[in-house]
Amino acid sequence: MIIVKSPREVTMMREAGRMVAKTLRHLESLVKVGVTTQQLNDEAEKMITSFGAKASFKGYGGYPASICTSVNDTLIHGIPSKKEVLKNGDIIKIDIGIQYNGYHADAARTYCVGNVDNAIKKLVEVTTASFFEAFKVIRPGVYVGDLSHTIQTYVEKHGYSLPEDYTGHGVGQNLHEDPQIPNFGRPQTGPILKAGMTLAIEPMVNLGKKETKVLADEWTVKTKDGKWCAHYENTIVVTPTGAEILTLEDQGG
Ligand code: CO
């Protein structure tokens, strides 16, 4: 069942979303050669606590940290570590969920560390752009499959692949709600969007093959072929005329 939020609920999610955006902006400024993923995690936790909010991922299904930090060939759910030091040329995916007043907002970015190879930069740009391609399509009456298809078409046109085991999702009082939003699919399939639905749309894109594997820690998801991958996610609300992004850094400070 897809939960439609009232304007009052959307206001609360907008607050959580702004906190996510502020935390991302702060972490982006800290992403430098020599920083550990544990330091990024601790800075995020400090900031989230200062908001009077909670890190959504902490303890979720037993997840052991406040954010996910996924470097290079790690796609998602990388666990921050004090042994993991960022190097020149790395990319890092930072995924953050914040719960405030009972509502979650969820977003992810891929940041470059120092000088990153042009082919990798292009991967990151296309991943980000694929989100905005899907975002442009959103309005009441559109199918979830239309969003999936838009992401797939855009990403595959650039020669990249889409892992199939992980999807976007509804978000609200729960971090994960209906519907699932796959990053591949056919137009005019799946649920139809209505104003007040709140969704986390999150293209995950591989430079090489689509297959992924989960490490023995039961969280870390890496590409099977060891090639690098990117992730970009925002929480959005469907509005009567289109959609609004709740987790964008340049909105409302
Ligand atoms: Co998500």
Residue 122 covered by a domain:
yes
Ligand 1 centroid to Cα of residue 168, in Å, is: 6
Q: What are 35-47's pLDDT values in tens digits?
A: 999 999 999 999 9
CA of 246 to the centre of ligand 1 (A): 13
For residues 164 and 143, give the distance between their C-alpha atoms in angstroms, rounded to a whole number.
19
Enclosing domain of residue 204: 7-251
Choose between 250 and 166: higher pLDDT: 166
Centroid of ligand 1 to alpha carbon of 176 (angstroms): 7
DSSP string, 1-19: -PPBPPHHHHHHHHHHHHH
Give residue 147 CA to ligand 1 midpoint distance, Å: 15
pLDDT tens per residue across span 154-198: 999 999 999 999 999 999 999 999 999 999 999 999 999 999 999
Query: How close is the Cα of 87 to the center of ligand 1, in Å?
Result: 26
Give residue-wise pLDDT tens across range 198-246. 999 999 999 999 999 999 999 999 999 999 999 999 999 999 999 999 9
How many angstroms separate the CA atoms of 195 and 7, rounded?
10
Partner residues linked to 94 by β-bridges? 69, 109
Cα 216 to ligand 1 centroid, rounded to whole Å? 22
| d(CA 36, ligand 1 centre) in Å | 23
Ligand 1 center–CA 70 separation, angstroms: 14
d(CA 207, CA 199): 26
Ligand 1 center to 98 CA (angstroms): 11
Number of domains in the chain: 1
Global confidence as pTM: 0.98
- DSSP label at 62? G
Residue 250 banded pLDDT, cuts 50, 70, 90: confident
Phi then psi for 214, rounded to 5 degrees? -105, 130
Distance 200 CA to ligand 1 centre (A): 5
pLDDT value of residue 253: 46
Residue 252 pLDDT more than 70? no
Helix or strand holding residue 145 (H, E): helix 144-157
Name residue 108's beta-bridge partners.
95, 233
State the pairing for strand pair 168-170/103-112: unpaired
Instruction: Output the CA 170–ligand 1 centroid distance in Å.
Output: 9
Within a domain: 208 = yes
CA distances (Å), 241 to each of 141, 173, 196, 197, 226, in order?
A: 10, 24, 11, 13, 42
Residue 49 included in any domain: yes
Report pLDDT for 251.
Answer: 66
175: domain CATH number is 3.90.230.10
Q: CA-to-CA distance for 57 and 76, rounded, in angstroms?
A: 13
Residue 191 lies inside a defined structural domain of this protein? yes
Ligand 1 center to residue 107 CA distance, Å? 6
CA distance 62 to 8: 31
Residue 139 included in any domain: yes
Residue 1 domain-assigned? no
Q: How far apart are CA 142 and CA 124, in angstroms?
A: 27
The per-residue pLDDT for range 17-35, each reduced to its tens digit, is: 999 999 999 999 999 999 9
Cα(106) to ligand 1 centroid in Å equals: 5
Q: Cα–Cα distance between 69 and 160 in angstroms, integer?
A: 22
How does pLDDT run across 70-91, given as a tens digit for each residue? 999 999 999 999 999 999 999 9
- Cα–ligand 1 centroid distance for 86 (angstroms): 24
User: How many A from CA of 191 to the centre of ligand 1?
Assistant: 18
Q: What is the mean pLDDT of the chain?
A: 98
